[in-house]
């Protein structure tokens, strides 16, 4: 089953068309499952009933020069979150909010040149940070996506890792993961989690058949370890 058109999953009024996939995804597709509860091994429920997998998710509004788009992100420590490059670039202002509706001030944003990744620093502490998995998942592993599709309510969807394919957006990056976990515009930057609530990658796009694409945790880890991998995010004026 070949993949035709890939679209980035930040949400203005729609998704922009991107280059055709260079290779087909695996044919052994497991159907997407309905939204389900977040994995609870990542931490106990907070007093307001949210799991740690939900508490680390952040909604991002990119107010540009004459434009507005939304995306998702997740904390990796008390004052740092990870998202996609296309979620934060060309902004005049970034507005962040947490699972409980609290606004968090962004102090700086940096984007990667190699992968569709970005880091945002915050002045205020973020509620929770997940653990990064030690290794990438394999075909057949369960995956949970936590984010803010369409810039609306916090949503959890589940699916399966279908395999890997050459990144159609940044061919020099190498392979990215393909899953059938449902995502929508606004899901860009969402954490993809394993069954134990650990981050196995970062959602950045989907195709017209509904497959989602994930920068694997091995790439995220290597870039976080390289101070030169991120530079100041481009802004508009």
β-strand partners of 207: 6
pLDDT at residue 7, rounded to an integer? 57
pLDDT at residue 48, rounded to an integer? 52
Structure tokens at 214: 């994930």
pLDDT at residue 11, rounded to an integer? 60
pLDDT at residue 173, rounded to an integer? 72
pLDDT at residue 50, rounded to an integer? 65
Structure tokens at 177: 């993961």
Helix (H, G, I), strand (E, B) or coil at 90: coil
Helix (H, G, I), strand (E, B) or coil at 166: strand
Structure tokens at 174: 């190498």
Q: What single-letter DSSP state applies at residue 86?
A: H
β-strand partners of 97: 59, 103
Residues 6+ apart with CB under 8 A from 233: 85, 88, 89, 91, 109, 110, 111, 118
**pLDDT tens-digit readout, 15-58:** 444 444 444 443 333 333 333 344 433 444 445 556 777 889 99
pLDDT at residue 20, rounded to an integer? 46
Whole-model pTM over 0.85: no
Q: Spell out, as residue ranges, where the chain has pLDDT lower than 50.
A: 1-5, 13-46
Residues 6+ apart with CB under 8 A from 49: none
Decide if 191 contacts 57 (C-beta within 8 A).
Answer: yes
> How many other C-beta atoms lie within 10 A of the C-beta of residue 149?
22
């Amino acid at each position: 089953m070949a993949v035709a058109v890939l679209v980035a999953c930040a949400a203005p009024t729609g998704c922009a068309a991107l280059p055709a996939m260079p290779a087909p995804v695996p044919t052994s597709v497991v159907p997407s499952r309905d939204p389900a509860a977040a994995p609870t091994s990542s931490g106990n429920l907070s007093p307001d009933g949210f799991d740690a997998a939900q508490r680390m998710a952040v909604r991002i509004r990119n107010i540009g020069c004459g434009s507005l788009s939304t995306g998702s992100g997740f904390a990796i420590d008390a004052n740092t979150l990870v998202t996609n490059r296309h979620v934060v670039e060309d902004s005049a202002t970034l507005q962040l909010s947490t699972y409980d509706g609290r606004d968090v001030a962004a102090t700086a944003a940096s984007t990667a040149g190699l992968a569709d990744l970005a880091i945002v620093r915050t002045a205020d502490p973020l509620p929770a940070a997940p653990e990064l998995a030690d290794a990438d998942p394999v075909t057949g592993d369960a995956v949970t996506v936590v984010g803010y599709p369409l810039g609306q309510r916090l949503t959890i969807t589940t699916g399966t890792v279908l395999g890997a394919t050459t990144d159609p957006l940044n061919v020099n990056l190498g392979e990215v993961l393909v899953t059938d976990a449902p995502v929508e515009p606004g899901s860009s930057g969402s954490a993809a989690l394993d069954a134990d609530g650990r981050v196995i990658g970062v959602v950045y796009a989907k195709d017209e058949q509904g497959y989602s694409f994930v920068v694997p945790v091995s790439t995220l880890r290597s870039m976080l370890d390289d101070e030169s991998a991120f530079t100041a995010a481009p802004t508009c004026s």
